[in-house]
Structure 1
Amino acid sequence: MSESQTPDELSRLDAELAGIARRVERRIDPGVTAMVVSVAVLVLIGAMMLSWTGSARGWEILVGAVELGLLPQLFTVTAVGFGVVGSALALVTRRWGVAWLCAVGCGISVVNGVWAIWSRQIGVPEGASGPGPGLILAVFAVLTLAVSWARIALHR
């Protein structure tokens, strides 16, 4: 090997190592928190099957079969989008950006959920029912997801 080739080989090796370092930096290792995320996603899916208010279930609100107003429907969309789909995608890809998106999205969803509970308690006509166990359980599940994803994203 000649000496003129050695610097070229070293620069290629250096570029390859820098590329590997960048790929490693973009990945997360959720560790034990991945189990907490998985259980919270399952709880959220189960909460979609429970009563959210009166006889309306969460999945019915999600698909638009029951009209309860903007806030409960907004919460179902953000909870399923960030809490279920986003969490599954983040656990599979282990990308830092997706984990951060889940943390922020689930945080927004918690606010939407609290507003949805509030909307079922304030200004509801006489005889209408308030928030059901499914809605309250879904808010706690999304809160757990928001905290878990924030810990994972900030731990990197």
Structure 2
Amino acid sequence: MCGPVSDEEYLRREIDEVERTAARRIDPGTGALTISIAVLALLVSLVLPWIGDHTGLQVVLGESTTFLPRLFAFLALGVGVVGSGLTLAVRRWALAWVCSLGLFAGAVTGVLSIWTQQTTTSNKTIGPGPGIGLTIAVIAVVFLLVKWLRIAASRPPQL
């Protein structure tokens, strides 16, 4: 029933396989450099104050009991740093979408983290206020969100 495969049929199968593989990959181009710079800014923000005198590392390690900044720190490190590095390494389209969605959650959580540190009740401040490190981290996460969303949405439609 299945005779020998002709050279043309073998070549067609090989071309189809290469096409399927290429469709699953992304090419960030010069965006890879800007993503790397944003990841570096995110890492540098960890040594700067986030909440009062607590640095980003102290927030990650649990020395600050505030929930939202800690959740934001985990999302920023997990998706922003590890996820971006992994996606740049393997260049898979699906991972670009995972980074986009995770960074969206991180951006919302980061903005809420800043907001909760600034919220007042009866003209008395609740928290010590957001530090420069938290602000830089939120800006870096929003920047990464925009870059990964552009890369993920740039996939040409499948015919």
Q: Distance in 1 between matches of 2:125 and 2:19?
A: 62
* Matching residue within 35, 48, 51 for 2:49: 51
Alignment-derived partner of residue 81 in structure 1: 78
Match of 1:149, SS state, is: helix
Q: Distance in 2 between matches of 1:28 and 1:91?
A: 9
Q: Distance in 2 between matches of 1:59 and 1:126?
A: 24
Q: Distance in 1 between matches of 2:90 and 2:97?
A: 13
Measured after TM superposition, the shift of residue 8 of structure 1 is 3.5
Q: Distance in 2 between matches of 1:127 and 1:147?
A: 32
Aligned length: 151
Cα offsets for 1:57-109 (capped at 9, x unmatched)? 111111213222x2111100111111000000011111111111111111110
Alignment-derived partner of residue 116 in structure 1: 113
* TM-aligned CA distance change 1:127 to 1:144, over 3 Å: closer
Letter in 2 for 1:137: I
* TM-aligned CA distance change 1:36 to 1:11, over 3 Å: same
Alignment-derived partner of residue 137 in structure 2: 138
Q: TM-score w.r.t. structure 2 length? A: 0.88
Matched, 1:102 2:99: yes
Letter in 2 for 1:10: E
Instruction: Give 1 or 2: higher helix fraction.
Output: 1
* Matching residue within 18, 22, 27 for 2:20: 22
Letter in 2 for 1:47: S
* TM-aligned CA distance change 1:152 to 1:56, over 3 Å: same
Letter in 2 for 1:147: V
Which runs of no fewer than 5 residues in structure 2 stay unpaired?
none
Cα offsets for 1:7-60 (capped at 9, x unmatched)? 643322222211110000111110111111000000000011100011111111
Alignment-derived partner of residue 152 in structure 2: 153
Q: Distance in 1 between matches of 2:109 and 2:29?
A: 29
How many percent identity over aligned positions? 41
